Chain A
Amino acid sequence: MRARLTTLIAAAVVAAGCAAVPKPDYTRFFQNHPRSILVVPPMNNTTAVEAPDVFATTITAPVAERGYYIFPVYLVTDLLRDLGLTNEGLIHQLPANRFRELFGADAVLFVTIKDWTTKYVLLASSVSVTASYKLVDTKTGQVLWEGERKAVVQSRGSNIIEVLVSALMTTTVDYRPLAREANKKMMDNPGTGLPAGPYHAEFQKDYDRYSREREGALK
């Protein structure tokens, strides 16, 4: 029984991953291919107070596994605080070259959390996370890459309702698998994700996978 529920939930997550995403323009990205990425504390557009901190724990691995140096998120948050920058809204407004001066970062990734919700209703229950991502070059201030991704676990049927309702009583929902899923969809996706960085074997060899012309030529 447990195995079946799990399979259903996993299938729902996999299915949600297949939505078509328009292909971004990577011209500027490849002109300013960053080696290092600084992730600043996420903006929170939800009422879930814990969302930015929990999200921040999941962002390092997907960026690093694409081959980029990513600055230690916890240390970065504290260094910004030491500079009096405790407000995410203010941090996200800073000119990008400040992050080059302060940290030596090639690019800065701004994340905004747009949804962080668990819904318990009669016939279907769901947990969802949506985040938008914007990578900005710290030399030119130009946006190199951006997008928004959603991850959802949906369930139907009384058994799962019982499970989720009991969750409400006994423990808190762990959003990290959803945040990881959103990050993975955003970063690790040939054609729309982050092209390989300097620590990845594909660095500078995968440009054609991210080129619009190439895609057009194949049609």
Chain B
Amino acid sequence: MGLPRFVLGVLGFLSLTGCAGPTLYYWGQYEDSLLVRYRDVSAEGRQRAFAMLERTIAEAEQDGRKVPPGVCADLGYLLYQQNRIPDAISYFRREANAYPESRYLMDSIISRLEPRVRPPQ
């Protein structure tokens, strides 16, 4: 953490808090979870993003704040990438229930995943 990063960090803090009222959502580490995946496309990057998103959702729930649009879907996608299909589906459902605007996309993703979790006949 060099001094310039410190300066830009403080600046970022000021620009976020200086004129902003209360926010609609709790953002936690959502932006960092995106950056870490863009910068590190390996499984390790995804693992770090996963931990950040889980924590963001847990902290939002603890504080009684709203989880932002896209966060549950994004966590669902990371679960899908870990091949945890039933867990992925439950987060895609959660996104669709919280934000009906996402239902069209979530339903189309879920309908493609569901055949994978049915027991073989």
| Interface, chain A (partner B; CB < 8 A) | 2, 5-6, 9-10, 13-14, 35-36, 53-54, 56-58, 60-61, 64-65, 67-75, 78, 103-104, 106, 127, 153, 163-164, 166-167, 170-171, 173-174, 176-177, 180-181, 184, 199-200
Contact = CB atoms under 8 A, between A and B. Distances in A.
A180 B104 CA distance: 29
B25 A65 contact: yes
B50 interface: no
Interface of B: 2-12, 14-16, 18, 23-25, 27, 30-32, 34-35, 37-39, 68-71, 73-74, 77, 99, 101-105
Given A167-B4, A180-B12, A74 B24 contact: no
Contacts of B34: 56-57, 60, 73-74
Contacts of A2: 3, 6-7
A174 B70 contact: no
B31 A104 contact: no
Contacts of A177: 8-9, 11-12, 15
A104 B37 contact: no
Given A36-B101, A173-B8, A200-B24, A163 B77 contact: no
Contact of A10 (B5, B14, B73, B74): B14
A-B pairs, 8 with minimum CB distance = A104-B104, A72-B70, A177-B12, A167-B4, A69-B101, A36-B101, A53-B38, A57-B34
A180 B15 contact: yes
Given A65-B23, A73-B34, A6 B5 contact: no
Given A5-B7, A72-B74, A61 B15 contact: no
B31 A163 contact: no
B85 to A, nearest CB: 16
Nearest to B77: A75
Nearest to A198: B101
A200 B25 CA distance: 11
7 contacts: A57-B35, A60-B70, A71-B102, A74-B74, A104-B103, A171-B5, A180-B16
A176 to B, nearest CB: 7
Contacts of B10: 6, 10
Contact of B77 (A67, A74, A184): A74
B2 A69 contact: no
A48 B5 CA distance: 19
A70 B71 CA distance: 10
Given A36-B101, A60-B70, A69-B99, A78 B11 contact: no
B27 A6 contact: no
A154 B43 CA distance: 39
A153 B25 CA distance: 28
A6 B14 CA distance: 10
B30 A35 contact: no
A109 to B, nearest CB: 14
A104 B101 contact: yes
A193 B57 CA distance: 29
Given A36-B101, A61-B68, A174-B5, A54 B35 contact: yes
